[in-house]
Amino acid sequence: MNLTFRKLNLSMTMKNNLKNIIITGGAGFIGSNLAKKFLSEGTEKILIIDDLSTGNKNNLIGLNNIEFIESRIEDIENLEKLFKDYDFCFHLAAGVGVQYIMENVSKALLTNIEGTHVIIEACKANNIPMLITSTSEVYGTSSDKVWTEETKSLIGPPTKLRWSYAASKLIDEFLVLSEYNDNNLNPIVVRLFNIIGPNQVSDFGMVVPKFIEAAIQDRDIIIHGNGTQTRSFTWVNDVIEYFYLLSNKKLYGEIFNIGQTEEISIKELAELIIKLSNSNSKIVYRTHEEVYGSKFEDPMRRTPSIDKIVEATGYEPSMTIENMIKEIIEYKKINN
């Protein structure tokens, strides 16, 4: 579980050229941290559009120079006019989280396809570059040991509804890259692998906040499946650093994995969380079918190659899983 650090982090030296930015989904976990980062780097104005379906306005408390519109992106009239005078759009609004997707399949699909389409049109009309947040889910159950940006997708059948999220995000990738191919848009595609951080909420099925909240309260930690499935977790501030560098470096027309190569099984994760929070919680196992019904399946591994993004930005992920968990436990003890 040890990380090796290959290079120094160079981002501190990169000047911010983005004065006015748009963040869709900016009241969410990643979006709110992104807003903080750009404001601290001198960005003067941020337009946030969020329907608060999974986000929370409290994430934006204390931030200045934010214009907030509470709405579904799909429902805004005159989006093209609204986007005038902005330099860049980070498009994060989406149905997110396994539990949320399984409970809102159609709504999430429409947001991810229709919503992304209207954002693309508004960016095109104003000649604004955009970054879209795709997901490691697009690789499906690929058996390749490490997933590079060229790895073939192995998404399950549409009867397994959990793959709807992956399929819609893959369509988003095709939508922006085809516009790039036609010289209509400057997009950056990032595929995120299990991002974690202090203000991520447990309500929509995210494993780390769910386990930590249970551990702090000495409740049972419920593992879906047998716990041997592995994941790699990445610190939200590292993700933000990558967004900052990719957008300022104008690395358009490319797909980048963003994640970490350190793997941990879900059982080991639960044990680590119990140890680090001095918890009396017990681990309990439930099958995926019990939790989500028969329309669900889960990949056993999910590990990215991050060579491409490290080479392009000069930046390495900065945190071990143990330190990430420690920080989240401290935050949740005070804030929950």
Which residues have a catalytic role annotated? 165
DSSP-assigned beta bridge partners for residue 196: 235
* Positions 13 through 32 that interact with ligand NAD (CB under 6 A): 24-25, 27-31
* Positions 195 through 234 that interact with ligand NAD (CB under 6 A): 195
Those residues whose C-beta lies under 8 Å from the C-beta of residue 244, and which sit 6 or more positions away, are 11, 14, 16, 37, 38, 41
140 binds ligand NAD (CB under 6 A): no
Nearest residue to 123 (alpha-carbon basis) of 38, 24, 17: 24
Total residues contacting ligand NAD (rule CB under 6 A)?
Answer: 29
Secondary element (H or E) of residue 224: strand 221-224
Min CB(272)–ligand NAD separation in Å: 18
Positive or negative torsion for Cα 322, 324, 325, 329: positive
55 binds ligand NAD (CB under 6 A): yes
168 binds ligand NAD (CB under 6 A): no
- H helices of 191-320, where? 207-216, 236-249, 266-276, 288-292, 307-313
Half-sphere exposure of 23 (CA within 13 A, CB side): 30
166 binds ligand NAD (CB under 6 A): no
Point out the residue whose Cβ comes nearest to ligand NAD.
55
Q: Tell me the two tokens of residue 217.
A: 């309260």
Among residues 173 and 179, whose Cβ is nearest to ligand NAD?
173
Residue choice 46, 49, 215, 325 for contact with ligand NAD (CB under 6 A): 49
* Positions 86 through 125 that interact with ligand NAD (CB under 6 A): 92-96, 111, 115
Could you tell me how far CA 88 lies from the centroid of its own chain? 18
Nearest residue to 7 (alpha-carbon basis) of 322, 313, 233, 236: 313
Min CB(115)–ligand NAD separation in Å: 5
Min CB(139)–ligand NAD separation in Å: 12
Residue choice 104, 142, 153, 194 for contact with ligand NAD (CB under 6 A): 194
Judged by the rule CB under 6 A, the positions of this chain that interact with ligand NAD are 24-25, 27-31, 49-55, 72-74, 92-96, 111, 115, 133, 135, 192, 194-195
